[in-house]
Amino acid sequence: MAFVTMVMPAMGESVMEATVLQWLKQEGDIVAEEESILEVATDKVDSEVPALYAGRLYKVLVQKGEVVKIGAPLAVIVTEGESVAATPAAVSSQPVVVRLPQPVSVLQATDHKQSYGRFYSPLVRRMARQEGLSLSTLDQIPGTGRGNRVTKHDLLAYLQHRLTTDRPRVSAAACVPVAPDDEVIQIDRVRQIIAERMVASKRIAPHVTSFVEADVTDLVRWRNQYKEDFEKREGVRLTYTSMFLQAIVRAIRDFPMINAFVEADRIIKKKAINVGLAVALNDGNLIVPVIKHADQLSLAALAREVQMLVDKAHHQQLVPDEVTGATYTVSNLGSFQNLMGTPIIPQPQVAILALGAIVKKPAVVESAQGDVIAIRKKMYLSHAYDHRVIDGALGGGFAKRVADYLESFVDWVYW
Which domains does the chain carry? 3-106 (2.40.50.100), 112-162 (4.10.320), 206-412 (3.30.559.10)
Contact status, residue 310 vs residue 279, Cβ threshold 8 Å: yes
Q: Would you state the pLDDT for residue 65?
A: 86
CA 11 – CA 319 distance, rounded (Å): 8
**pTM for the full predicted model:** 0.67
- Transcribe 349-391 into DSSP letters: BSEEEEE---EEEEEEEEETTEEEEEEEEEEEEEEEEETTT--
* CA distances, 13 to each of 16, 105, 324, 348 (Å): 8, 7, 6, 13
Burial code of 374-393, b = ≥16 C-beta within 10 A, e = fewer? eebbbbbbbbbbbeebbeee
pLDDT by residue for the chain (415 residues), tens digit each? 677 777 777 666 567 788 888 899 999 999 888 788 888 887 667 777 888 778 899 899 999 888 888 888 898 888 864 444 444 443 333 444 433 333 322 222 235 334 445 667 767 777 787 777 877 677 778 877 766 678 877 888 888 777 666 555 444 445 788 999 999 988 887 888 888 889 999 999 999 999 999 999 999 999 999 999 999 999 999 999 999 999 999 999 999 999 999 988 899 999 999 999 999 998 888 999 999 999 999 999 999 999 999 999 999 899 888 999 999 999 999 999 999 999 999 999 999 999 999 999 999 998 888 899 999 999 999 999 999 999 999 999 999 999 999 999 999 998 8
Say how far residue 137 (Cα) sits from the centre of its chain: 28
Contact status, residue 390 vs residue 370, Cβ threshold 8 Å: no
DSSP summary character for residue 62: S
Neighbours of 330 (CB within 10 A): 23
Q: Would you state the pLDDT for residue 239?
A: 96
Residues with catalytic function = 387, 391
Which amino acid is residue 4, in one-letter code?
V
Contact status, residue 261 vs residue 294, Cβ threshold 8 Å: no
Q: Would you state the pLDDT for residue 166?
A: 56
Contact status, residue 252 vs residue 295, Cβ threshold 8 Å: yes
Q: Which helix (H) or strand (E) holds 219?
A: helix 217-234
Neighbours of 203 (CB within 10 A): 15
Q: Would you state the pLDDT for residue 52?
A: 78
CA 377 – CA 358 distance, rounded (Å): 6
Neighbours of 76 (CB within 10 A): 20
Dihedral sign from CA coordinates of 192, 162, 267, 356: positive
**How would you classify the pairing of strands 207-215 and 370-386?**
antiparallel
